[in-house]
Structure 1
Amino acid sequence: MPAQRDGPASGSADALDTDDAPLAAELADRDAVGLVAVGDRFDDDIRWLTRFSGPDRDYAFVATPASDADPDTNEGTDGVHATLCAPALFDEQARREFPGDAVRVDDQGDPAGVRAAAALADRGVESGTVLVPRGIPHDAAVYLERAGYEVASTDAVARARETKTDAEVGRLRRVQRAAIRGIARAEAILAEATVDPDADDGAGAVRWNGGVLSTERLRRQVNEVLAAHGVRDAGNTVIGAGATAADLHYTGTDVIRPGETVLLDVSPRGPDGYYGDVTRTFAVDPDGGWERRAYLAVEAAREAALEEVAAGVPASTVHEEAAAELAAHGFRVDSPEVGFTHSTGHGVGISLHEGPSLGGDDELAAGNVVTIEPGVYDPEEGGVRLEDLIVVTADGFEFLGEYPFSLVPRDRE
């Protein structure tokens, strides 16, 4: 079969597809007879391999070299024959969603590893090396070994996921646009808010719509917008204020106070499993101190990082340029708690965090979708991060969605 499998809506420019060529190459390079992945709908590797969205119990994906499995019809040596081993209750859904060659339905309730071994035998593969992702359930690996196969781990699936097809980029773009609408709602609320210096026993607070504005109230407003645009927050709407803005993944409740940074990191998931990821930082009635200096430094670091992005550039170069810019502005880049404490970005796809990492040495490739998100943090002052999602191209990059920058929130409607 050809190297690329088209989804159920084959022929549509919007159809999800999966590039089998990296899997076929790995099988050939490792002299392996097949590749097996086992997991449920929460396993991102098997979700990507199968495009199958259920069930919440283990099922299996089996790939064998197409040239070995079907020599009469194979047009080349770069494809795989792909089989989905699905529970009987999900037969119709599996046949509707799986873009591969065969669906093997189990009526006996056998473990997924047993079904995978049977699928290999169905293809005439009775022995040899079978490649599995490193996270395969232990019992599935044992069942394959008991069936006479030698099991060896591979990261080929994770590597293949790093390069997105046009249809995948389209899914990511849609979710990113919804995430940006969530940011817009938050900025509008902060722009409408007023300062109450006497609230909370004189500590001061930001008020909106008749009450004190907290990170949780703001989060609910953002999540309502996400839901209205067909994506779910997936527990990833991170909003911190003041000291909690220095917490990279704060999802608790904190009062928003005047002058403090309010960091909003919105990372929803779309119906096909793909994520968006965007961050903006605001401050209601800032005094022009630390928060202003940090914001200007992060803006400069973002621009420095983007200037380096292109296919063939080592990912670490992007990070190093952002770090150098922040250091030039007087912020630490070598501390786990204060200053620039994380990589400049990471891959985004069916997982919110996947390869490539901008802290690594691998070269960027056209089709990589990564975040650019420099930030600086100080638990005594707050946190500032600015994040966008881009797709790497041969000579640069494209934004998957854009939103303006401003430390002071504005009503943009």
Structure 2
Amino acid sequence: MSERPVVSSVPDSVFDTARATRMRDVLAERGATAFVHAGTLEDPTVRFALQAGSDSCLDDDALESPTRLQSGTVYAVGFDGERWHSVSKPPRDGGDHPSQILAELLLEDGTTDAGAMETCSRLLTPAHIPHDAALYLEGAGFELASSDALSRLRVRKTEPELAAIERAQLAARTGLERAMSLLERADFGIESASDTGEATLVLEDAPLTADRLERALEVGVLEAGGRPVSSRVVWPGANGGTNSPQTAALPAGGPLIITVESSDAGYHGRQTRTLVADPDGGPERRAHIGLTHGFRSVQSLLTAGEATVGTVEADLEAEIRAFGFDETAAIDVQVGGIGLERLERPLQAGSTIERRSPVVVDASLETDVGRIRIADVIVRAEDGERARWLSPASRSLVPNNG
């Protein structure tokens, strides 16, 4: 069992003075004693609360790559307006549930006493608090009220959080650049044509496969100090041949959609590129130009001022269609926040993209030769500063690290 003071002046803290003040205001507005939650490290809200109660969690990999024991550990965490409390219990360990101990701790700490329970017994919890934890808290005499305060608090990132996301983006870029390097060096294996008769890629006398590219992505992420989350290479007709898509030679002339996700200190990054080793021109180039132009428009829009998720998505789609793609063209755009979760607030069309709130911009367009797709992370800066893409890899359609 442990309790830690609110960290408001330590540079590496994710729970700065502004966040502490906002949480106090929420507690006061709702007439609540504390904000509490319970769960395992699989829950990003639990991870954030544990980071909030630590003065150096962003330098510690324990929450990002927990041991098997830590993964099964149940935590109960709470903020009473002055300090964070945390209680944990390893799996299969007997004794009281952490929520029971946390409830007792809040009472013993003087936050609430028996004489004040009737007027100050409310606890704010996320809607997804585990049922057993809620029962233990209610059994201690507390009234529970649902609140998304902590999720809303996470939308606008602190500088340490932004730095972690940018490091994750840099690791993703390094992975992409390593994969691009393989594609640049590859030869066209006419003699080892695919099932469809198309030329395929060969590198060092062996077929260049999706599996080799995905390994390169992950090695690049690791070399840059990140943690690989996922890597994927897809292309038109990948599942149509007799060989496994992972071990079949990649086509030389078709678009390869390469996506890499990485994390740093638990914060995610993601980039997607479409690459063609030997493009013919035509539809894939026009689609690629439309996408890259749309991404420039998004940057200008977020630099100009506030915009909602829906506004950015609509602007991006309109800019892409302006390159000669009518309403029948299959265009898919998605804008959403990124952080401790691969996709988090802001998500709804009417949600405003705040300053220091990084979002993933993901757009794709179907063409006669396959789908063309790009995804990057952008963050709105302070007034007067240009919105910034976080460590983007080259967006060239042809493999190019320049």
Equivalent position to 1:241, from 230, 235, 244: 235
Residue ranges of structure 1 left out of the alignment (5+ in a row): 67-80, 90-106, 246-250
The 2-side partners of 1:278 and 1:400 are apart by 10
- Of the three residues 63, 71, 76, the one matched with 2:79 is 63
List alignment gaps of at least 5 residues for structure 2.
52-56, 58-62, 240-244
- Which residue does 1:121 correspond to in 2? 107
Secondary structure of residue in 2 paired with 1:191: helix
Is 2:251 aligned against 1:257? yes
Cα shift at 1:87:
3.5
Whole-angstrom distance in 2 between the partners of 1:319 and 1:252: 33
Aligned to 1:213: 208
Change in CA separation of 1:254 and 1:322 when aligned onto 2, cut-off 3 Å: farther
The counterpart of 2:380, out of the listed 392, 401, 406, is: 392
Question: Does the 8 A contact of 1:308 with 1:318 survive in 2?
Answer: yes
Which of 122-131 and 288-297 deviates more? 122-131
TM-score (norm. length: structure 1): 0.80
1:275 maps to 268
Instruction: Indicate conservation of the 8 Å contact 1:297/1:325, yes or no.
Output: yes
Letter in 2 for 1:399: W
CA distance in 2, matches of 1:139, 1:254: 49
The aligned residue for residue 340 of structure 1 is 331
Rounded Cα–Cα distance in structure 1 between residues aligned with 2:323 and 2:246: 31
Residues 220 and 320 (structure 1 numbering): CA distance in 2 closer, same or farther, change over 3 Å? Answer: same
Give the aligned partner of residue 170 of structure 1: 163
How many Å apart are 1:303 and its aligned residue? 1.4
Give the secondary structure class of the aligned counterpart of 1:302. Answer: helix
Say yes or no: does 1:161 pair with 2:154.
yes
Alignment partner, residue 406 of structure 1 = 396
Mapping 1:247-396, distance limit 5 Å: 255-270=249-264, 272-310=265-303, 311-331=305-325, 339-343=330-334, 345-357=335-347, 360-377=349-366, 381-395=369-383, 396=386
What is the aligned-residue RMSD (CA, Å)?
Answer: 2.6
Distance 2:259 2:321 in 1: 23
How far the C-alpha of 1:307 sits from its partner, in A, is 1.4
Matches within 5 A, 1:93-104: none
TM-score normalised over the length of structure 2: 0.82
Find the aligned partners of 2:248 and 2:49 in 1 and give their Cα distance: 40
Structure 2 Cα separation of the partners of residues 333 and 160 of structure 1 = 38
Distance 1:64 1:280 in 2: 45
CA distance in 2, matches of 1:82, 1:333: 53
List aligned pairs for 1:65-214, cutoff 5 A.
65-66=81-82, 81-87=83-89, 109-124=95-110, 125=112, 127=117, 128-199=121-192, 200-201=194-195, 202-214=197-209
* C-alpha deviation, 1:342, in angstroms: 3.7
SS in 2 for 1:309: helix
Is the Cα contact below 8 Å between 1:331 and 1:376 reproduced in 2?
no
Query: What is the CA–CA distance in structure 2 between the aligned matches of 1:179 and 1:363, rounded to whole Å?
Result: 27
Aligned residues: 362
Structure 2 residue matching 1:275: 3-state secondary structure: strand
User: Partner residue of 2:242?
Assistant: none
